[in-house]
Amino acid sequence: MFFPTALRPRYAKWLIATGLFLMLSGCVDKPNTLERIKEDGVLRVITRNSPATYFQDRSGETGFEYELVKRFADDLGVELKIETADNLDDLFNQIGKPNGPVLAAAGLVSSEHRKQQVRFSHSYLEVTPQIIYRNGQSRPTDAGDLVGKKIMVLKGSTHAEQLAELKKKYPGIEYEESDAVEVVDLLRMVDEGQIDLTLVDSNEVAMNQVYFTNIRVAFDLGDASNQSWAVAPGEDNSLLNEINAYLDKVQKNGTLQRLKDRYYGHVDVLGYMGATTFAQHLQQRLPKYEQHFKNYAKKEKVDWRLLAAIGYQESLWQPTVTSKTGVRGLMMLTQNTAQAMGVSNRLDPKQSIMGGAKYLAYMKDQLDDSIKEPDRTWFALAAYNVGSGHLDDARKLTAKEGLNPDKWLDVKKILPRLSQKQWYSKTRYGYARGGEPVHFVANIRRYYDILTWVTQPQLEGDQVAEGNLHVPGIDKSKPAQEPAPL
């Protein structure tokens, strides 16, 4: 092409400028996943709706996975948005979709098949797959005993993969995979005799066994596995690296252990017989006093289910019991406490519940401001049992040991020392049965967890947290007869 001589320098400059612009434009990288999350100010996470992962109670969203991922979002300085999947296949399909969840926090165990779909983070919880059968039926003792049984597992689960492998060795094993159920449904179906067996992880069994009093663990199928979070496949490691750094940090600083203690540190408190009894009492005794718990808890600004859990721990919801030490009534108040709380008749269940609610609120108000929730509640319960003076002694001993006197996880390690002379002789208030408040709090936490789950509606399907709600599938049929008072 021919250009006038005067225009050639100008054209050359234009070509150079254009070339530089294009070169610079090509050097501008698109933001990676972590950068997009921070720019948007939102971390989108997909999970499952279950007591071991995520659900809603009166105070909002809760669950082990939720607590862990919420802290991660807070570390990133972004808002957390949760959605729940209809099934595991849907969960894996949603990860990484445009404007969809970038992370799955749902109690997932990695497998070779799943590694083709997603990338897994460092682990944070060890679980064991367990074969579950119905009490009264023949107990399977090994994989060969699965032949001829009606078995169902979650579709797309690692448990389905395990059974597929077993079937190669034992062709007679038959099982159904379902995407229309959750773990609670599988356990209910075993409990009711609709299926013979299922295979679920040990933490799910522990969290749900109290709702289904006929289920039993037959045996562990294989070795323990580790649960991890999952992100989309690809070469962008920005989010995965951040997740791994976070999980390593909470493992090191004790946050992860505190969460494990909160959700799983008390799951073995009841045992099978205790679970059966509690399920019966939920149906037969609690309804008589539930409204009193609600009324006085509201007045004293405490959770009625926590108050009810204290009542169960103290008396098994029996209003006329008296202990050897003279405490009486449904909330087992001492004479001095009853008088201080305005209770004239400790055997009147309404008055007893009123006194217990006032006393719990009082114990909570007396605690140092440095003690934050949820530890504040556990400390209040310990003080309810052993007295605030002995609790203060234990906190001081805790501090001397270099532990945190504001954390229940630390103080509960020290409380039993109050019954040992070498320790209580150094305290202001002296001897106390320091092991009792530890068991007291552990039991109440377990009862409270159960009451929270069975009395609150849960999210269903893939709706976002503020969507429609439903009641969990729990067998509430009435037992054949009222057990003898315990």
Active site residues: 314
Tell me the Ramachandran region of residue 461: left when phi exceeds 0, alpha when psi lies from -120 to 50, beta otherwise: left
DSSP secondary structure letters along 274-326: HHHHHHHHHHHTHHHHHHHHHHHHHHHTS-HHHHHHHHHHHHSS-TT-B-TTS
Beta strands 225-231; 151-154: pairing state: unpaired
| Opening angle at CA 272, ends 266 and 273, nearest 5 | 115
Rounded to 5 degrees, what are φ and ψ at 52? -90, -5
Please tell me the distance from the alpha carbon of residue 467 to that of residue 463, in angstroms, as a whole number.
Answer: 5
Please tell me the distance from the alpha carbon of residue 245 to that of residue 435, in angstroms, as a whole number.
Answer: 37
Record the tokens describing residue 439, joined without a space.
Answer: 């068991």
DSSP secondary structure letters along 14-75: HHHHHHHHHHHHHH-PPP-HHHHHHHHTEEEEEE--BTTTBEEETTEEE-HHHHHHHHHHHH
Please tell me the distance from the alpha carbon of residue 409 to that of residue 76, in angstroms, as a whole number.
Answer: 26
Under 8 Å CB-to-CB from 91, ≥6 apart: which residues?
Answer: 46, 47, 48, 85, 104, 106
Exposure of 4 by Cβ count < 10 A (0-12 exposed, 13-18 middle, 19+ buried)?
A: exposed
DSSP state of 464: B
Please tell me the distance from the alpha carbon of residue 312 to that of residue 218, in angstroms, as a whole number.
Answer: 30
DSSP secondary structure letters along 165-192: HHHHH-TT--EEEESS--HHHHHHHHHT
Q: Which residue, 450, 479, 473, 455, is CA-closest to 206?
A: 450
Q: What sign has the CA pseudo-torsion 177, 180, 183, 186?
A: negative
Neighbours of 318 (CB within 10 A): 17
Record the tokens describing residue 2, joined without a space.
Answer: 């021919």
Q: What sign has the CA pseudo-torsion 190, 156, 224, 55?
A: negative
Under 8 Å CB-to-CB from 304, ≥6 apart: which residues?
Answer: 290, 293, 294, 297, 298
